[in-house]
Amino acid sequence: MIAVAGISYYSAGFDMLAKYAGLAEEAASGNSISGAFTGIVWVSTCNRVEIYADIPVHCRKRAERLMLQQFGLTEKTEGFYIYTEDEAILHLLKVAAGLDSAVTGEDQVLGQLKLAYKNAVTANLTSPWLNRIFHKAFETGKSIRNLTDINKGHQSIASIAVALAGSFVTEYPAESSNGVLILGAGETGALVAEILVNKGFSNISIWNRSTIKARKLAVKLGLNVVTTDQLEHSYRTSSVVMVAIRNKEPLLNYGAERTAPSAKRLVVDLSMPFQVADTAENANNYVYNLSHIAAIRKETLEKRKEAIDDAMQLIWSAMSELATWKEDQWIGKTLQQWKLLMQQLKERQVRDYAEKHPEVDSATLSRFGEELSANILRQLAWSIRQQQKDGADWNKWSKLLANVEPYEQLN
């Protein structure tokens, strides 16, 4: 039985989540697995702590008790959730797709799942069934992000601001070499600077009231530091300006034209209250503020929500493939069981016949028995495959054959 038990920020809050985060890390770092489980994978992130398990039991209540014991609990408390079988697999597929995240479709969770699974594999804690499920989750999560709009667009203020800058330099390639000016080295300014660097922007300058703070960030990210004396000139020469400061009075004349005639400029005001007045916008000066960014964010969220139906179609398809694969395992189990039965039967019959007919070559008789057993197994495999194609209840028949008692126990 596949099961998942866990707790998340959304189900219980950060305080409760923090209580169990250390437990998951300790358990995941171990190199052994309890005999109660065939395989386990611990997942611990800033938003969730979960254990996925392959349990050799068929009783749901017993499985739930085993899962709760991993958290030191005897009963399910508020905020905890437990899913088994199809519900557990569905939960993992939704997590991998980003449908169970605060930001729908976010990419980070897929990497976190992969790391958790890799740690479990390294410690030899997984099972073939868990391996199959997690690989399918990774494949489905990737397909959903490639084939739907679930992760299209940006959600954070800083990422939207950088996306606007990217669109601007794409539309006006001539402005791409004129540099980016960031006003403010606080949390927002620093995050914007980091994303800009990661996105390949160059010639980035930063100004801050505290030159020391600006220099510290500049050293870290490879930026240019602009002093207050240089600020006006830097503003007039920069093609992209990010404003992330709090000033009672405007720091600059944001409507001032660029030094080059008819040169374009993008100004993104990330401040609250706004630092850049609407009047600063003109034919060559494009101004965005937090109101515009909120509208972009809302539109992105709506598009992602519309993509949920498409994502769920891919998830249901993955569920169907996993169900088919699991049913196919009964064929292997059936043939394996019957191979053992035929081996036991052959050995007994050959032994009994040789005792009654000592003149017969036992080696030849044994080879004949092996060939006969192999032919019977091939016929059985063919019959099961035909039932799989033509019979609605083929899997029930296969499971029944797989549970036949060993020959020695019947005699």
Same domain for 115 and 140, yes or no, is yes
Q: Which amino acid belongs to residue 131?
A: N
CATH code of the domain in which 261 resides:
3.40.50.720
Task: Enumerate the β-bridge partners of residue 2.
Answer: 54
In a domain, 314, yes or no: no
Same domain for 163 and 284, yes or no, is yes
pLDDT at 332: 65
In a domain, 313, yes or no: no
Q: Is 329 annotated as a binding residue?
A: no
- Confirm if 41 and 134 have CB atoms less than 8 A apart: yes
- Confirm if 204 and 179 have CB atoms less than 8 A apart: yes
CATH code of the domain in which 60 resides:
3.30.460.30
pLDDT in tens, 27-56: 555 555 667 888 999 998 877 889 999 998
pLDDT at 23: 64
In a domain, 323, yes or no: no
The dihedral over CA atoms of 374, 379, 384, 388, expressed in degrees to the nearest 10, equals 130
In a domain, 319, yes or no: no
- Confirm if 293 and 272 have CB atoms less than 8 A apart: no
In a domain, 306, yes or no: no
Give whole-number Cα distances, 113 to 4, 190, 191, 237, 278, in Å.
14, 28, 25, 45, 45
Structure tokens at 119: 């740690």
C-alpha–C-alpha distance, residues 276 and 267, integer Å: 8
Q: Is 112 annotated as a binding residue?
A: yes
Query: Starting at the edge strand that comes first in sequence, how are the strands of the sheet with 224-225 ordered?
Result: 224-225, 204-207, 180-183, 240-243, 265-269, 285-288
From the candidates 46, 102, 272, 400, give the one annotated as an active-site residue: 46
Neighbours of 312 (CB within 10 A): 17
pLDDT at 339: 75
pLDDT in tens, 290-321: 999 888 888 887 877 888 889 999 999 999 99
Give whole-number Cα distances, 111 to 28, 118, 166, in Å.
17, 10, 25
**For the chain, which residues score pLDDT lower than 70?**
14, 21-34, 153-155, 328-337, 384-411
Same domain for 51 and 98, yes or no, is yes
- Pick the last residue of a domain from 253, 275, 297: 297
Q: Is 106 annotated as a binding residue?
A: yes
pLDDT at 197: 94
pLDDT at 288: 95
- Pick the last residue of a domain from 122, 152, 182: 152
pLDDT at 401: 59
pLDDT at 391: 59
In 176-307 the beta strands, taken as DSSP E runs, fall at 180-183, 204-207, 224-225, 240-243, 265-269, 285-288
In a domain, 127, yes or no: yes
Same domain for 91 and 162, yes or no, is no
Angle made by CA atoms 93, 99, 103, in degrees to the nearest 5: 145
In a domain, 36, yes or no: yes
Same domain for 32 and 54, yes or no, is yes
Same domain for 186 and 289, yes or no, is yes
C-alpha–C-alpha distance, residues 251 and 234, integer Å: 13
Same domain for 56 and 175, yes or no, is no
- Confirm if 268 and 180 have CB atoms less than 8 A apart: no
Same domain for 288 and 171, yes or no, is yes
C-alpha–C-alpha distance, residues 406 and 409, integer Å: 6
Same domain for 26 and 119, yes or no, is yes
Query: Is residue 46 annotated as a catalytic residue, yes or no?
Result: yes
Q: Is 122 annotated as a binding residue?
A: no
C-alpha–C-alpha distance, residues 349 and 366, integer Å: 10
pLDDT at 313: 93
C-alpha–C-alpha distance, residues 292 and 163, integer Å: 13
In a domain, 312, yes or no: no
Q: Is 185 annotated as a binding residue?
A: yes
- Pick the last residue of a domain from 93, 117, 152: 152
Same domain for 10 and 128, yes or no, is yes
pLDDT at 359: 81
Same domain for 279 and 166, yes or no, is yes
pLDDT at 243: 95
C-alpha–C-alpha distance, residues 104 and 58, integer Å: 34
Same domain for 62 and 138, yes or no, is yes
The total number of structural domains that make up the chain: 3
Residue 351 belongs to domain spanning:
328-410
